[in-house]
Amino acid sequence: MALGTINTESVWARAVLFACLVGSLVATGFFVKWCFANAVSTRTDDKEVADIAVGLAPDDPQTHFAVAVMLEKTFDAGNIERSLAEYERAAELSPNNYLAWLELGKARDRSGDIDGAKAAFDRALMLAPAYSDVQWAYGNFLVRAGRTDEGFTLIRNAALAKPTLMPAAVTVADAIFDGDASQIRGLLGNDASVSLALAKMALGRKEYATAYAAWEQIPPDERRSELADVGRELANGFAAAKQFVAAANVTRDIAPDTANAPQVGVITNGGFETLNLNSTELFDWRIGANAGQQIGLSADRKVSGTYCLHMIFNTTRAEEFREVSQTVAVESGGRYTLSGSYQADIKGGLVWEIVDASDGKVIARTAALVSTAGWMAFQTNFTVPPTSSGVIIRLVRDGCTVSYCPIAGNIWFDDMRLTKE
């Protein structure tokens, strides 16, 4: 490719080149100054430095916006007034920037300029009609202004687009309608996120029946699929509050396999057809972490099904015993019978205990489990305290009053069940 040359011998040619050079230098200087002012404005908490930034780039909307944000954070009355002016200037310089108008609306609202705030929010909504942040801020403004229906339309749209906002939306509606769930749903709808927010709010207030009723409003398929993690959180909340029936029902609702899901008044996996030694599920068999006995499934000896539970002991220390237990949801005040079958060739005492899951007090115990020639039935009757909705069924050592408490041999369990009278 041939290279061309520019003739700079004439005075006019040199003048043009000089003018271009000067123009480039001016433009570069202006650009550098603008960028410097913009950078400084977003990285300073000093009012004097912010003033310098605005002076360097008086026509840069981002500089005015950043200074406005900085001044607003000081909570100084004079700075708040100046902050509002900077928001005004930022919106004036960038009339199509929804964020500038949104923040201007908030600033005007805080200053008491209701009409001005509405105008700014209207502009922001026109520029970004589908943005949840705009809908949320404008909706809350309208609710405070007494335009409840109009405001909650925007709040609902914002919360549906960004579900993390729904708990706050429900809280706002709850404050207005004094906890009337029907009116809250009338404004926010029956979406699952509304039901979850209502359930969590009621759980926090210890309104357990209301919390579970809100959960039941969610379609079963949604509970079991996309809301399973949230349901587990809710079930844990019920369990922590000692509401074991609700906890069991929610756990069953989210279980992918209902065959082994908890039921009220039913021992889960009472036939020991499966066993997870590391399970942490509340309504499953839970095995202690000590090394006191070997625990597993056996297909050699069973009453029914394929397997039974088998334990092998050879220890002298009571504290080494591995407790086997399960929490079961039951009806408050209900009368039940715990029954099962066992076979043993053992030296040392074992019993099954029934414990109130609400306070840890022992309600009932079986007779001591001794060596047998074959399978033998065991049972014990108990009444659930009227203040409780859960019991813990646990296998414990019997007669161990000191640390030295030897036990050796084998024991098998099968077909454990609760029967309500």
Same domain, 46 and 186: yes
Give the pLDDT mean for 257-280: 92
Domain end point (choices 177, 203, 229): 203
CA distance 165 to 135: 11
Same domain, 194 and 294: no
The whole-angstrom distance between residue 248's C-alpha and the CA centroid of its chain comes to 19
DSSP state at residue 263: B
More confident residue, 327 or 60: 327
Q: Tell whether 269 is covered by a domain.
A: no
Same domain, 182 and 47: yes
Beta bridge partners of 355: 362, 392
288 pLDDT higher than 80:
yes
Domain end point (choices 203, 237, 258): 203
**DSSP string across 320-378:** G---EEEEEE--TT-EEEEEEEEEEEEES-EEEEEEETTT--EEEEPPPP---SS-EEE
pLDDT at 393: 98
pLDDT at 131: 94
At 360, which CATH number?
2.60.120.260
Percent of the chain with pLDDT over 70: 84
Element (H, E) at 380: strand 376-383
Q: 3-state DSSP call for residue 400?
A: coil
Q: Residue 176: phi, psi to the nearest 5?
A: -75, -40
Taking alpha carbons only, the member of 238, 216, 244 closest to residue 328 is: 244
Give the pLDDT mean for 347-356: 95
- Through-space distance between the first and last CA atoms of the chain, rounded to whole angstroms: 102
Same domain, 165 and 52: yes
CA distance 61 to 111: 21
Q: Tell whether 249 is covered by a domain.
A: no
At 85, which CATH number?
1.25.40.10
More confident residue, 401 or 28: 401
Instruction: State pLDDT tens for residues 309-318.
Output: 999 999 998 8
Q: Residue 317: phi, psi to the nearest 5?
A: -105, 125
pLDDT at 58: 59
Confidence of residue 119 (pLDDT cuts 50, 70, 90): very high
Structure tokens at 192: 């699952």
Q: 3-state DSSP call for residue 266?
A: strand
Q: Tell whether 257 is covered by a domain.
A: no
Q: Tell whether 2 is covered by a domain.
A: no
Same domain, 41 and 142: yes
Same domain, 64 and 198: yes
pLDDT at 391: 98
Q: Tell whether 415 is covered by a domain.
A: yes
**To the nearest 5 percent, what fractions of the chain are helix, strand and coil?**
50, 20, 30
Same domain, 178 and 291: no
Q: 3-state DSSP call for residue 287?
A: strand
Element (H, E) at 397: strand 390-397
CA distance 246 to 252: 10
Same domain, 56 and 187: yes
Q: Which of 193-197, 277-281, 380-384 has the highest mean pLDDT?
A: 380-384
Q: Tell whether 112 is covered by a domain.
A: yes
Q: Tell whether 292 is covered by a domain.
A: yes
Domain end point (choices 138, 173, 203): 203
Same domain, 47 and 188: yes
Q: Residue 330: phi, psi to the nearest 5?
A: -140, 165
Same domain, 297 and 402: yes
56 pLDDT higher than 60:
no
Beta bridge partners of 52: none
- pTM of structure: 0.75
Confidence of residue 48 (pLDDT cuts 50, 70, 90): low
Same domain, 186 and 298: no
Query: What Rg do the C-alpha atoms of the chain give, in angstroms?
Result: 36
Element (H, E) at 316: strand 308-317
pLDDT at 216: 93
Q: Name the residue with tokens 């646990």.
A: 394
Q: Tell whether 252 is covered by a domain.
A: no
Give the pLDDT mean for 96-124: 93
Instruction: State pLDDT tens for residues 169-192.
Output: 999 999 888 888 889 998 898 889
CA distance 42 to 70: 8
Instruction: State pLDDT tens for residues 205-246.
Output: 999 999 999 999 999 888 888 888 889 999 999 999 999 999
CB 350 within 8 A of CB 369: yes
Taking alpha carbons only, the member of 130, 127, 125 closest to residue 142 is: 125
Taking alpha carbons only, the member of 291, 251, 252, 299 closest to residue 275 is: 299
Average predicted confidence (pLDDT) for the chain: 85
Same domain, 163 and 299: no
Q: Could you tell me which residues come within 8 angstroms of residue 105 by beta carbon, excluding any fewer than 6 positions away?
A: 117, 118, 119, 120, 121, 123, 124, 137, 138, 141
Domain coverage including residue 369:
286-420
Number of domains in the chain: 2
